[in-house]
């Protein structure tokens, strides 16, 4: 068991501790708050699934609330809410996260609940069938019966083939889930849901020594098992190309995308600032040139779909103005990127100010602060790096931004058109 401390003078105090069974703990004491946030991350996401066995990571986001040895189905949520807290979970390509925020007096309840379901989750045929139906309904609501619901999957498919680990969304394939047997699902759970593959972040008005003792009390008897290896991804990516979709949508959309640095790459921050300079707010370059001056678009946006173990996907999107063809808008995007010069100090300062405001807002609550530390831990291997973000932000130069934006292997186009416009 090892413990390390980051001095409070350099930011939030971060205390790390490791149990003998491999569970890693990070504490962020916040004496000023009466609440405590618990963030338990398992280093498994849709990237860890195999062809024909997709959707399992997301399935367990639901299965984990279906009961364990001492907790009946649904009681995890009801007990947290009865204590005055909230609870939720999410699945990404790289992580599955379970998080609660409760009054300080309910911390031991949360740890007891989390340890019990990690020790004895009810992976039964009844629960599998019920949650498989829940996921199917979720997919219908979020993807199948929603305007532009297939856009994200198609965008990802431009850069990663169906057999690539990042080639499918966390929701997975309903055909794969329908074909999955209880043994398949139980094997996935046994492989990934182990203390040596989990990171526990606790943030709030806690006493560090007492909290470590509570974690030892509730988690130390869990089996010590080495985490499964996560092999280097060697599957090639795709060139992207040009794709046109049609559907029952209210207006056309254009997405121009390219492969960008992985989430942990030092250039990721410069990329985010560059997209902000291009597309965030009415003072951004693309809004000024394509919306206000040329009238080609009603709105423009930029975003990054981050991946830890393969290239991320950066994209610029726009809703064309009435009567404007998406291909004319794509040409305008390509032109603006081709003639892109280094941003001015004023542009970069504005982007940094927007980022800093958003970042400080995220750190204002113990729940979001815990997730920020957990994300830093997963991305860079150290939760204390949550304290470095603003220093890294200040260090980005105009040349960094122009270099990262200029490094586009190829610009892919996705044109989403209403059916009557095709």
Confidence bin at 24 (pLDDT 50/70/90): very high
Q: For tokens 């090892």, what's the residue?
A: 2
Task: Report pLDDT digits (tens) over 290-302.
Answer: 999 999 999 999 9
Tell me the two tokens of residue 194.
């182990």
Kindly tell me if the per-residue pLDDT of 182 is higher than 80: yes
- The helices-and-strands tally (H runs, E runs) of the chain is 15, 12
Tell me the two tokens of residue 136.
């199917």
Kindly tell me if the per-residue pLDDT of 339 is higher than 70: yes
Compute the Cα dihedral for 236, 242, 245, 249 and give only its sign: positive
Which of helix, strand or coil describes residue 76? helix
Kindly tell me if the per-residue pLDDT of 406 is higher than 90: no
Confidence bin at 409 (pLDDT 50/70/90): low
Tell me the two tokens of residue 15.
């205390």
Q: What is the pLDDT of residue 398?
A: 94
What is d(CA 51, CA 226) in angstroms, rounded to the nearest whole number? 24
Mean pLDDT of 80-101: 97
Percent of the chain exceeding pLDDT 70 equals 97
Q: What length does the chain have?
A: 422
- Sheet with 312-320: list strands edge to edge: 242-247, 412-418, 253-260, 312-320, 297-305
Per-residue buried b or exposed e for 360-396, using 16+ beta carbons within 10 Å of the residue's own CB: eeebebbbbbbbbbbbbbbbeebbbbbbebeeebeeb
What is d(CA 158, CA 416) in angstroms, rounded to the nearest whole number? 14
Mean pLDDT of 253-277: 96
Q: Does 238 or 7 have the greater pLDDT score?
A: 238
What is d(CA 51, CA 296) in angstroms, rounded to the nearest whole number? 42
Q: What is the pLDDT of residue 8?
A: 37
What is d(CA 264, CA 379) in angstroms, rounded to the nearest whole number? 5
Beta partners for 88?
99
Identify which of 78, 67, 88 has the alpha carbon closest to the alpha carbon of residue 109.
Answer: 78
What is d(CA 343, CA 50) in angstroms, rounded to the nearest whole number? 42
Confidence bin at 421 (pLDDT 50/70/90): low
The mean predicted confidence, pLDDT, of the chain is 93
Confidence bin at 120 (pLDDT 50/70/90): very high
CB 263 within 8 A of CB 417: no
Task: Quote the pTM value.
Answer: 0.93
Which of helix, strand or coil describes residue 283? coil
Q: What is the pLDDT of residue 5?
A: 41
The β-bridge relationship of strands 15-18 and 3-5 is antiparallel
DSSP 8-state secondary structure symbol assigned to residue 408: -
Tell me the two tokens of residue 210.
């007492």
Q: What is the pLDDT of residue 9?
A: 36
Collect all residues with Cβ–Cβ distance below 8 Å to 147 and sequence separation of at least 6. Answer: 247, 248, 249, 250
Kindly tell me if the per-residue pLDDT of 410 is higher than 80: no
Tell me the two tokens of residue 240.
């992207």
Helix axes 125-139, 182-192, angle to 10 degrees: 90
Identify which of 379, 377, 393 has the alpha carbon closest to the alpha carbon of residue 28.
Answer: 377
Mean pLDDT of 340-347: 87
């Amino acid at each position: 068991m090892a413990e390390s401390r980051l001095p409070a003078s350099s930011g939030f105090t971060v205390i790390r501790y490791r149990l003998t069974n491999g569970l890693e703990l990070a504490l962020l004491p916040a004496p000023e708050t009466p609440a405590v946030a618990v963030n338990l991350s398992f280093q498994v996401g849709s990237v860890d699934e195999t062809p024909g066995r997709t959707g399992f990571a997301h399935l367990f986001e639901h299965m984990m609330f279906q009961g364990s040895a001492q907790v009946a189905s649904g009681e995890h949520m009801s007990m947290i809410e009865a204590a005055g807290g909230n609870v939720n979970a999410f699945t990404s390509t790289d992580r599955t996260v379970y998080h609660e925020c409760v009054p300080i007096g309910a911390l031991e309840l949360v740890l007891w609940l989390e340890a019990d379901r990690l020790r004895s989750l009810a992976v039964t045929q009844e629960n599998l069938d019920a949650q498989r139906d829940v996921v199917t309904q979720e997919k219908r609501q979020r993807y199948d019966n929603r305007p532009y619901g297939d856009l994200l999957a198609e965008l990802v498919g431009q850069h990663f083939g169906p057999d690539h680990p990042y080639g499918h969304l966390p929701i997975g394939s309903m055909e794969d889930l329908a074909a999955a047997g209880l043994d398949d699902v139980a094997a996935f759970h046994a492989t990934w849901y182990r203390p040596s593959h989990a990171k526990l972040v606790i943030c709030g008005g806690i006493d560090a020594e007492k909290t470590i003792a509570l974690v030892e009390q509730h988690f130390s008897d869990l089996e010590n098992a080495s985490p499964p290896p996560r092999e280097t991804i060697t599957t090639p990516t795709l060139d992207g190309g040009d794709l046109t979709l049609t559907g029952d949508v209210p207006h056309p959309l254009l997405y121009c995308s390219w492969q960008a640095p992985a989430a942990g790459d030092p250039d990721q921050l410069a990329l985010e600032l560059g997209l902000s300079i291009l597309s965030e707010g009415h003072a951004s370059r693309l809004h000024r040139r394509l919306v206000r001056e040329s009238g080609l678009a009603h709105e423009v946006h930029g975003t990054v779909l981050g991946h830890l173990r393969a290239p991320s996907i950066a994209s610029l999107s726009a809703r064309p103005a009435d009567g404007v063809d998406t291909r004319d808008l794509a040409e305008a995007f390509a032109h603006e990127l081709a003639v892109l010069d280094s941003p001015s100090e004023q542009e970069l300062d504005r982007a940094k100010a927007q980022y800093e405001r958003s970042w400080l807002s995220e750190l204002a609550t113990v729940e979001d602060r815990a997730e920020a530390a957990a994300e830093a831990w997963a991305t860079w291997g150290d939760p204390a790096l949550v304290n470095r973000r603003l220093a890294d932000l200040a260090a980005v130069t105009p040349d960094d931004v122009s270099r990262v934006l200029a490094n586009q292997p190829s610009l892919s186009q996705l044109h989403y058109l209403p059916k009557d416009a095709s």
